[in-house]
Structure 1
Amino acid sequence: MSLGAIRYGHWGRPVLVFPSEAGRAEDFAANGMVGAVQGLVDAGRVSFFCVDSADRWTWSDNGKPTEDRAHGHQVYTAWLEQAVIPWINDELGGEHHDLATLGVSMGAYHAVHFSLTHAHLAPLAIGLSGNYDVTTWHGWGEQGDATYFANPTAYISGMQGEHLAWLRSHVSVLLVVGQGPFEYEPTGSLPSSTAFAELLAHKGIPHQLDLWGSDSAHDWPWWQRQLAHHLPRFC
């Protein structure tokens, strides 16, 4: 499994960007997302640190049972922790604790999951058209701890006590989803985003749900608009 990363921007708030399902680091710029906020980049308000996905070996490999895919995701998380975060810190000239995460489609899951499990590093997550329940991804086989702790819908449901209190004071989640083509079927993004927002509200975790209209599709042109709408207030 060979993975890479690319930086866009020279200064500003660092944003760790996850691509759509099985995507590559260069997809973010190639699909107009950097261009959609080029003014923020040129003004030194934001730097994007874009990474490859490992979905082809993990969540997108339907030949593996869900638990095995979740174990593969643990390897990907270790790469983020041991290689990507140190690279970002090196690029920034020292440890940085104001990292935001961002992703579209399956990348939204990665962004939100990483911030919820690494809020000390990435206190803000922006998920565009995400599905936050990994058990809905054509899974099979028995599910154990690896699946549970990779599934925001599961571990947030079970969270309580001091850990929940700490998370409430350290993280904020923005969920954006349209009500147009492919946001309901086959992605499940619309029902998952609304259900996950309800769960975050029930647990008292700071969040915002922004529902776009019936013309807003599960596609790059809409994600460009959503990013341009929301990102300026965070950087």
Structure 2
Amino acid sequence: MREELQKWYSPSLNKDMETLVFGDAGQPVILFPTSMGRYYENKDFKLIDAVANFINEGKIKVYCPDSVDALSWYNKNIHPADRVKNHIWYDKYVLEELLPLAKNQTGHAKVITAGCSFGGYHAANFGFRHPWAVSHIFSMSGAFDITGQLDGFYNDDVYFNNPVDFLPNNINPELWDLKIVLGTSDRDICRQDNERLSGILHQKGINHWLDIRQNADHDWPIWRDMFPEYIYQL
């Protein structure tokens, strides 16, 4: 399996950013890390190995970006308004830098977003904010209400990055073209978050799969089972 570290100076974030890329061809998958995770996390926890066959067959090419969660949502040293603004710069980085790279390298017009735990938030938030650029959202044990990170602060920037808030009022017709999987489990600490988001999607008539696994926790073993099953459906 081909593995390449791509690094460049991000004008959006005003810092060097690293992305670990796996494969030569196929549908581009932007696979976000968990809370404050690094670009190599999904490799280290064997999530890449779980889909190695699809990568080697040229079905997918996986892009594992670094996160800036420690500078945004988890940065208790700055005002909550600035935490959100730092995330907005990250969204701009993904949209204007990483997305074009993935599209140009694979020839596909849209990307797949995926991630586990807090990476599931990133996958869903980016996909729902930019449905014209995304074909599939694969969230595994994601949580979709970001307000708990902001010490009670709320403004329009929070609203437009909080899927459970902005999605009910979003009428972009391309939302209905998304292929969405919300993976969770019976013992998942984020199960209720997934059921809540599923309810919102159901009310809007947006097709999706709420996949609730049995006898599983909020942890890598179930995510390694889920991810290849979701990729198989492409």
TM-score greater than 0.5 by the shorter chain = yes
Query: After superposition, where does 1:1-235 map in structure 2 within 5 Å?
Result: 1-92=15-106, 94=107, 96-137=108-149, 139-160=150-171, 163=172, 165-168=173-176, 170-180=177-187, 183-184=188-189, 189-213=190-214, 215-234=215-234
What is the RMSD of the two structures over their aligned residues, measured on CA atoms? 1.5
CA distance in 2, matches of 1:192, 1:114: 17
Q: Is the 8 A contact 1:178 1:212 kept in 2?
A: yes
Q: Which amino acid aligns with 1:171?
A: L
Question: Amino acid of the residue matched to residue 32 of structure 2?
Answer: F
CA deviations on 1:88-112 (whole Å, 9 max, x unpaired) are 13322x5x32311100000000001
Kept in 2, the 8 Å contact 1:16–1:49? The answer is yes
Aligned-partner SS, 2:201: helix
SS in 2 for 1:3: strand
Q: Residues of 2 paired with 1:68 and 1:45: CA distance?
A: 39
Taking only the aligned residue pairs, the percentage that are identical comes to 25
Give the Cα–Cα distance (whole angstroms) in 1 for the partners of residues 129 and 207 of structure 2. Answer: 15
In 2, the alpha carbon distance for the partners of 1:60 and 1:2 equals 20
**Counterpart code for 2:155:** G
Quick one: higher RCO (CA 8 Å, sep 6+), 1 or 2? Answer: 1
Deviations 1:61-117 (A, max 9, x none): 23444432211111101111222112213322x5x3231110000000000111111
Asked whether the equivalents of residues 6 and 25 of structure 1 are also in contact (C-alpha less than 8 Å), the reply is yes
Q: Secondary structure at the match of 1:53?
A: coil
- Give me the TM-score of the superposition, normalised by structure 1: 0.88
Aligned pair count reads 220
Over 4 Å off, 4+ runs: none
The gaps in structure 1 that reach 5 residues or longer are none
How does the TM-score come out when normalised to structure 2? 0.88
Greater strand share, structure number: 2
Give 5+ residue unaligned stretches, structure 2.
Answer: 1-14
Structure 2 CA distance for partners of 1:149 and 1:117, relative to 1, 3 Å: same
